[in-house]
Chain A
Amino acid sequence: MATPLVELRNISIAFGGIKAVDNVTVDLYPGEVVGLLGHNGAGKSTLIKCLSGAYRRDSGQILINGEEVQINNPRDAKALGIETIYQALALADNVDAAANLYLGREILTRWGTLDDVAMEAEARKVMGRLNPNFRRFKEPAKSLSGGQRQSVAIARAILFNARILIMDEPTAALGPHETQMVADLIHELKRQGLGIFLIDHDVHSVKKLCDRAAVMKNGQLVGIVKVDEVTEDDILAMIILGKRPDQLTPKDKEAVH
């Protein structure tokens, strides 16, 4: 089999005694979408923040294309082509959409000054793909709706030709139409060969969008399954009971149903 794009090996991280992520191993192949599921506080966001450079893991290895890499801050991750849409959105509220899209990677004029007009033009292009109704390019991010902010966060992640995309509940604030556009986007990015980690609580959409699903419970990995080899109930059982489909008793199946 080909080398995985990303391998997270035996990742552990604790916050003051609480093991938020406990010895988790997951991999991700190019052109693949891996869903991360689990109850609230299971450790999904914490795990992917180790990959995006927001947290420093206590132990474990990260491999990109089979080579071990050091990711100590968000800049390291971005340099490796890892882009992240955070659950908390991570927008600067006081600057506009274009400034947020390009935060940390501004377009400069040949004088070395900010090229706001060029950034706005690019912003209009990419937002047009994601959310054609978006008009408020001049307003600070705090005056945008939750869904509009979400669109900006998504746009920012796809703007820089990522190889690895991390999406932490990207459709949480979106309407049905925008959710569909994100689903289309995921399909397209997948076709382009990106690897995507998708955190989502909706088992139904995970089954539709993902190739594999990794389920976490209390910081530990319950198991990784191919979504077309299991039923939605099987995944639900993993989330709620913390048991893989082959570990389920008939009584368990009753309970989930």
Chain B
Amino acid sequence: MVTTTERGGSGQDIRRDNPIKAFFRATELDTRILGMVGAMLVIWVIFDVWSGMLRPNEGLFGGAFLTPRNLWTLLVQTSSIAVMTTGMVLVIVMREIDLSVGSMLSMVAVFGAVLQVYHLGPALGVGHPAIWIIAMAACLLAGTLVGAFNGYLIAFLQIPSFIVTLGGLIAYKGVAFLLASGETVAPMDKTFKIVGGGVPEGWLGPFWSWTLGILACIGIVLALISGRKQRKKFGFPLRPIWAEVTLAAIGSAAVLGTTRVVTSYPWPFKLIEQYATANNVPIPQGVEDKSGAAICMAGDQIVRCTDGLIYYTGYAAPVLIALIVGGAMTFLASRTRFGRYIYAIGGNPEAAQLAGINTRLVTVKVFALMGFLVGLSAIIASARLDAATNALGQSNELYVIAAAVIGGTSLAGGVGTVYGALLGALTMQSIQSGMQLLNLPAAFQDIVVGTVLVIAVFVDQLYRRRIK
């Protein structure tokens, strides 16, 4: 019989370790990721305190950072980069790089915009339901094909990915300019725009947000139970029950906490007013209060007040997309053959090939997947801006790669996780928007982000050396 106090393969008895070590050993939590979460929370608190010292606000520590409004915006701003980062992790894990994602994003976004504004709109009539479907499908397909083309050059013609995608970085930018003749293409189809999360239709609302959050918690618990059953069936060492419960609690707390935050962010009051008048929703009488987020009637005037008609946004469409993509990509990376092959190729390309893996095909598929995600990000970014220009996506390759690297992806290949990269993206965006809140000049923001990137990698290496 295996005792439940023994963990996994190491065969070490947890009772010999100090309590903190025992805790991490039993829960099998990734201490690196916890460290990152901790660092990000510290950054959040600093920004909140700092902004509060400049101008007091309703944040958790008296500032403007830890407010539902800012956190909600932060999530929305992160989503486009986050979606691409999940693909970039796999590219880097496979010992390749994709420098072309930023230019590809502008190319695809402009392509999708030109298609709907100059061609589909006039042909089908503005607002025709086929427009957004065709435009989105075209963006995804275009991204996938361009990515597959990159992959083909890399895998079959054996041109290094750095060169292929550096060429792409320069060339696709040119294509974007030509497609739009250097102009801003707008406005987007009104259904297409929903994906950007800038309109009420693109918000899930409190009811569905909570439903989703609770379903996610149930999912976490079920996953833990099924994992445990599986290990039990084969008579493998199990985690102690308290560790399982702790894991479920941490996961659920994160999900519910996020849901709580996004469901506390109200619609902009102008939109509440528009919605109420359009749908004949009765607006209660109340006293004007300019700091309130709700609306009421003061006589026959609609005014802002604290106690009145109010709607909350909940999860925004781009955030939902990023979360779904994050989940799907985590699944792909850790639970499928394709993912296993990507890691094996990154660990030892020769061994992977000798094991019978068609490494070239995997390479093409990974770049095609990267392209698909760029297409998705192009949809999100242009929908959010309600326009596409050839400046959209500029320098995105740098942020996407930086996010993956801050999230623990090793440029040497073989190492990296999707959730780490998502955290990396969120951390980087936090720093940028925090500094915007503090009104620091853009040049200064660049300096800080660049510095953080280098420090993050340095700390990561220290950490990896320590645990060896």
Interface residue ranges, A against B (CB under 8 Å): 52, 54, 73-75, 78, 84, 86, 88-96, 99, 103-106, 108, 112-114, 117-118, 120-121, 135-141
Contact = CB atoms under 8 A, between A and B. Distances in A.
B417 to A, nearest CB: 12
11 contacts: A73-B356, A84-B354, A92-B344, A92-B347, A94-B344, A103-B344, A103-B355, A103-B357, A117-B234, A135-B11, A137-B8
A135 B357 CA distance: 27
A118 B234 CA distance: 8
Interface stretch (B153-161, B176-184, B333-341): B333-341
A90 B348 contact: yes
A114 B335 contact: yes
Nearest to A115: B230
B224 interface: no
Contacts of B354: 52, 54, 74, 84, 86, 90
Interface string B60-89: 000000000000000000000000000000
B435 to A, nearest CB: 36
A103 B352 contact: yes
A78 B234 contact: no
A141 B346 CA distance: 13
B216 interface: no
Contact of B356 (A75, A99, A114, A120): A75
Interface in B1-46: 8-11
Nearest to A52: B354
A106 B337 contact: yes
B9 A74 contact: no
Contacts of A135: 9-11
A96 B234 CA distance: 18
A206 to B, nearest CB: 25
B333 to A, nearest CB: 11
Contacts of B231: 117
B414 interface: yes
Interface residues of B, number: 32
Contacts of A138: 8-10
A78 B357 CA distance: 11
Given A92-B352, A106-B340, A136 B9 contact: yes
B356 A78 contact: yes
Nearest to A140: B347
B234 A99 contact: no
B297 to A, nearest CB: 56
Interface of B: 8-11, 230-231, 233-234, 236, 331, 334-337, 340, 343-348, 350-358, 414-415
A91 B337 contact: no
Contacts of B233: 117
Contacts of B11: 135
A89 B347 CA distance: 13
A114 B331 CA distance: 10
A93 B234 contact: no
Contacts of B353: 54, 73-74
A92 B355 CA distance: 10
A221 B89 CA distance: 48
A14 B124 CA distance: 64
Contact of A92 (B234, B335, B343, B356): B343
A54 B11 CA distance: 37
A104 B234 CA distance: 23
B236 A94 contact: no
B355 A117 contact: no
A106 B356 CA distance: 12
B236 A120 contact: yes
A136 B10 contact: yes
A91 B346 CA distance: 11
A94 B334 CA distance: 13
Given A94-B414, A94-B415, 14 more contacts: A54-B353, A74-B356, A92-B414, A94-B344, A95-B347, A113-B331, A113-B336, A117-B231, A120-B234, A120-B236, A121-B236, A137-B9, A138-B9, A141-B347
B346 A94 contact: yes
A58 B415 CA distance: 37
Contacts of A106: 337, 340
Nearest to A153: B351
A73 B336 CA distance: 23
A97 to B, nearest CB: 9
Contacts of B343: 92, 94-95
Contacts of B336: 112-114
A108 B337 contact: yes
B99 to A, nearest CB: 24
Contacts of A90: 348, 350-351, 354-355
A20 to B, nearest CB: 17
Q: Report, nearest first, the 10 A-B pairs whose CB atoms are least far apart.
A: A138-B9, A94-B347, A92-B347, A94-B414, A90-B351, A137-B9, A104-B355, A104-B356, A92-B344, A103-B355
Nearest to B414: A94
Nearest to B412: A94
A103 B230 CA distance: 21
B67 to A, nearest CB: 40
B10 A92 contact: no
Query: Which of A94, A136, A140 is most buried by chain B, counting CB atoms within 10 A of its CB?
Result: A94
A138 B8 CA distance: 7
A90 B357 CA distance: 13
A84 B351 CA distance: 12
Nearest to A49: B354
Contacts of B9: 96, 135-139
Contacts of A99: 340, 344
